[in-house]
Structure 1
Amino acid sequence: MKLLMIDTSTIVATAAIVDQDRLIAETIVNYKKKHSEKMLPAIDHLLQDSGMKLSDIDAFGVVNGPGSFTGLRIGMATVKGFSQALDKPIVTVSTLESLAYNARIYPHYICPIIDAQRGQVYAALYRFEGNAGDQKLVSYLDEGVYDIESLMNDVQAKDESVLFLGDGLKKHGQQLSKISSKIQIMPSYFAMNRASSAAAAGYQKLLKGETVNCFQADLNYLRKSSAEEQMEKKQEKTNA
């Protein structure tokens, strides 16, 4: 069963095709341009290099948040278009869960962080548990928007090493590395979003039948945009 996975949740635009436990092809673009300009050409090259047509794909996957509001909408719109045109199912994967799959062989806690601005990060805490052939990703801190200080307090309370990865490291990595010898920082070239990692998570959901159609797929922003918050405040003042 072939799955085409798309991730436009951050500045990185990435897509991959997987078939069971085999990665067929992957593309990663982490340089300038807008997602609207790079994703469709990237998918086209991916299919050509794999000797496939879009109709050969059995299901479409998309990373549905948290992350860049604009990027997420582009990825979701792309996958919904494919799904509706070809009547194929969609599988959605959290950005944070996808990042955790970059570190699947890490034996301790994994903490993906994405810059959420305002001194905050989107974050969660996971670890892989079980035997090597049957590992499951277990959550130890729910996905949410965290002040970096409160997140560090949660991490310091753990009695094992914690591996950090994600684009939040660009702003907060140095601060995190100083708080404890238990903190491990993943190198940037391993810490960015990869569609193959999202596909590894998504394929498990696909096998379990955890799919939606093009009308049911939705985004997971975790919080409202600044514009929405400002509109709500104005409305509150108007109603006061």
Structure 2
Amino acid sequence: MKILGIDTSTKACSAALFDGNTPVCEYIINDKKTHSQKLMPIIEKMLEMSDISIEDIDAIAVSVGPGSFTGLRIGMATAKAIAHVNNIPVISVDSLETIAYNIEPTDRKICAILDAQRTHVYTANYSYDGNTLRADTEISVRDIDELLSEIGNSGDEYIIAGEAVYKYFDRISEYKNIKPASPANCISKASGVCTGALIKYEKGEEIHTCYDIAPVYIRKSQAEVQYEEKMKKLKASSEK
């Protein structure tokens, strides 16, 4: 089974190709170019280098969020388009689980974090049962200091991973039981999307068509929040 994985949930844009459990190729670009500029060219280049055509792909795996609103829409639209043209399923994997798959099996608990702005992060905790990754908490939005205090005083050993790690590195370093993952393991990678998708496919979970798959935003965008605040002020002034 050949799976094309896509992750555009963060600043990094990534695509990967797996043949069963075997990684065939992966491209990651972590620069200032927009995902709309990067995604299709790296998919085309990856398929060319792997000598595989788009018609050979059996399923698309895509990170559905949370993360960058614009990035998620670009990845989702691309996944839907390829799935529609080739009449193949789309398997959804959340972006925090994707990050957790960057970490090899360990006795430490794993805390995945992505920037949610205003000192908040998207987060979820994971742990390994042997070689099986398990989610210990639901995805939530937390204040970074509250989160670090909670896991830092939990008595458990943690690895913390994700794009937000180096934004809050100094705060994380205050806790001896929290070990930051390496920079390479803090980047969201499509290989993690493929890994999660294969497991879900075998279980018959999170398998969608191009019509019913949807992003997971968790919270409203900053533009939506600002619009609602503006409308509340306008309503209040009109009622005076």
TM-score by length of 2: 0.93
Deviation sequence 1:77-125 (CA, Å, 0-9, x none) = 0000001111100001111000000013222100111111101111111
Residue among 183, 189, 204 paired with 2:184: 189
1:232 is aligned to 228
Give, in angstroms, the shift of residue 227 of structure 1.
Answer: 1.5
2:52 is aligned to 52
| Secondary structure, aligned partner of 1:24 | strand
Q: Distance in 1 between matches of 2:145 and 2:139?
A: 16
Q: Is the 8 A contact 2:99 2:185 kept in 1?
A: no
1:163 is aligned to 159
2:202 is aligned to 207
Q: Distance in 2 between matches of 1:206 and 1:57?
A: 14
1:128 is aligned to 128
Q: Distance in 2 between matches of 1:80 and 1:202?
A: 16
1:9 is aligned to 9
What aligned pairs does 1:51-90 form with structure 2 within 5 A after superposition?
51-90=51-90
Larger displacement relative to structure 2 (164-173 or 151-160)? 151-160
| Secondary structure, aligned partner of 1:103 | coil
Which letter maps to 1:105?
Answer: P
Residue among 212, 215, 225 paired with 1:216: 212
Deviation sequence 1:137-168 (CA, Å, 0-9, x none) = 22223211100121012202422210011110
Q: Distance in 2 between matches of 1:160 and 1:170?
A: 21
Gaps of 5+ in 2: none
Q: Distance in 2 between matches of 1:173 and 1:105?
A: 23
Is 1:174 the counterpart of 2:174? The answer is no
Deviation sequence 1:23-72 (CA, Å, 0-9, x none) = 11111111231110111010001101111110100000110111111111
Q: Distance in 2 between matches of 1:190 and 1:219?
A: 23
RMSD: 1.4
Which letter maps to 2:149?
Answer: N
Q: Distance in 1 between matches of 2:186 and 2:104?
A: 12
| Secondary structure, aligned partner of 2:25 | strand
Give, in angstroms, the shift of residue 195 of structure 1.
Answer: 0.8
TM-score by length of 1: 0.93
Q: Distance in 2 between matches of 1:30 and 1:228?
A: 27
The alignment of Structure 1 onto Structure 2 pairs a total of residues equal to 235
Gaps of 5+ in 1: none
Is 1:152 the counterpart of 2:145? The answer is no
Q: Distance in 2 between matches of 1:196 and 1:123?
A: 20
Larger displacement relative to structure 2 (153-162 or 91-100)? 153-162
Q: Distance in 1 between matches of 2:154 and 2:138?
A: 15
Which letter maps to 1:215?
Answer: Y
Q: Is the 8 A contact 2:16 2:25 kept in 1?
A: yes
Q: Distance in 2 between matches of 1:48 and 1:207?
A: 28
2:19 is aligned to 19
1:32 is aligned to 32
